[in-house]
């Protein structure tokens, strides 16, 4: 077992990724607060961390949980809202016809939690299957299954 | 890294400090010999990295031996930086800042504590340091204690020489050791 790297390296390497995930998950305005929560929780737990193979996945899992907490606290659906808001803003522009809105993130938000997490981590955070598995605390097969089930459901809803 | 990320990190660092989670903080400092790495715990200065030493390796060592909660944050290092500036300028003869001896144990630590009392502009021999630490025959061990000094400059291992008057060794390189001794000799005469 190798030693934990200095916590600063997690900030240097993954702060952009964490902030990116949170912007997608809770929107630009709340992302910074969730970022504080995420890194404080990580720093508190860091010395006791046993599985140190996938620090990026570990941080993104914490970020994901903080995003869900924040949505719960605000009584909203846990969904990535940034893109949706932009579409809504665009709709307010005087236009000839209705702007097409594929509503993809709303559909993602309506998925069961595991599928939703798998889809968000795969496409919102660009994590490979192995890291999604680490993030969700399940086997890579289970992660792949959740992802496929989620995607199948989305295809059906959007078809 | 974007400016938004930098701002978020800065806020996080302040919150972590307020919560007492900054076990080890570090910062860099300029010196006439190149960039120094300074690291401190809540007890005091715990590590000084000399310009030729590998910074990443030093930080990994701190993570392994003190705490993995190692973060870059200059606030706690201000005093060390100020005193070192004055030292390099020849205006400071005795460091006053608190030290954290966590990284040294046993005989080595006794040798280093002895070294910390060698006055400005003076030198001692490895043999004298071994004797002072309670084992006159452990001259080589005293030498390696100097070599492993985690807080060079502030714990002035550059003031320890061979019995013959030869320089011995220095983690920062012999040229640096020579320059430090020359600076102190000049100032001590003033």
pLDDT score of A110 more than 60: yes
pLDDT tens for each residue of A131-142: 777 777 778 888
Instruction: Find the helix or strand (DSSP H, E) in which B110 lies.
Output: helix B106-115
Tell me the ipTM for this assembly.
0.92
| B21 to A44: CB separation less than 8 angstroms, yes or no | yes
pLDDT of residue B25: 98
Query: Touching check for B12 and chain A: CB below 8 Å?
Result: yes
pLDDT tens for each residue of A92-102: 333 343 334 45
pLDDT score of A91 more than 60: no
DSSP-derived secondary structure letter, B27: E
Cβ A132 vs Cβ A147: under 8 Å? yes
pTM for the whole structure: 0.77
Interatomic CA distance for residues B118 and B159, integer angstroms:
7
Listed residue (B149, B65, B163) closest to B113, CA to CA: B149
Listed residue (B35, B11, B25) closest to B75, CA to CA: B25
pLDDT score of A51 more than 90: no
Interatomic CA distance for residues A38 and A60, integer angstroms:
9
pLDDT of residue A52: 83
pLDDT score of A82 more than 50: no
pLDDT of residue A124: 67
Scored b (16 or more CB within 10 A) or e, A74-112 reads: eeeebbbbbebeeeeeeeeeeeeeeeeeeebbebbbebe
Interatomic CA distance for residues A127 and A61, integer angstroms:
11
| A39 to B16: CB separation less than 8 angstroms, yes or no | yes
B157 tagged catalytic: yes
């Amino acid at each position: 077992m190798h030693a934990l790297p200095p916590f600063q390296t997690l900030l240097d390497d993954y702060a952009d990724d964490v902030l990116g995930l949170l912007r997608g998950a809770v929107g630009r305005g709340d992302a910074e607060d969730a970022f504080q929560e995420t890194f404080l929780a990580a720093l508190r737990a860091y010395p006791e961390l046993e599985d140190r193979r996938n620090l990026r996945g570990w941080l993104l899992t914490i970020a994901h949980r903080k995003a869900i907490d924040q949505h719960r606290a605000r009584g909203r659906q846990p969904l990535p809202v940034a893109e949706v808001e932009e579409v809504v803003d665009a709709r307010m522009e005087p236009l000839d016809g209705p702007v097409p809105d594929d509503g993809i993130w709303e559909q993602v938000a309506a998925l069961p939690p595991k599928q939703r997490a798998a889809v968000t981590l795969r496409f919102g955070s660009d994590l490979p299957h192995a890291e999604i598995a680490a993030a969700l605390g399940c086997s890579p097969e289970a992660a792949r299954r959740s992802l496929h089930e989620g995607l199948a459901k989305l295809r059906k809803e959007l078809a | 890294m974007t400016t938004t990320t930098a701002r978020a990190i800065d806020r996080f660092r302040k919150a972590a400090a307020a919560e007492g989670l900054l076990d080890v903080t570090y910062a860099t400092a300029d010196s006439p010999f190149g960039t120094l790495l300074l690291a401190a715990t809540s007890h005091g200065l715990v590590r000084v990295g000399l310009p030729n030493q590998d910074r990443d390796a030093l930080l990994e060592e701190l993570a392994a031996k003190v705490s993995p909660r190692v973060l870059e944050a200059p606030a706690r290092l201000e005093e060390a930086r100020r005193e070192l500036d004055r030292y390099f300028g020849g205006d400071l003869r005795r460091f006053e800042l608190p030290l954290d001896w966590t990284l040294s144990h046993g005989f080595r630590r006794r040798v280093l504590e002895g070294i910390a009392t060698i006055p400005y502009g003076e030198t001692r021999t490895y043999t004298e340091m071994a004797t002072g630490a309670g084992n006159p025959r452990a001259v080589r061990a005293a030498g390696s204690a100097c070599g492993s000094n985690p807080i060079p400059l502030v714990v002035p291992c550059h003031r320890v020489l061979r019995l013959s008057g030869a320089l011995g060794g220095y983690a920062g390189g012999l040229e640096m050791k020579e320059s430090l001794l020359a600076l102190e000799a000049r100032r001590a005469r003033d």
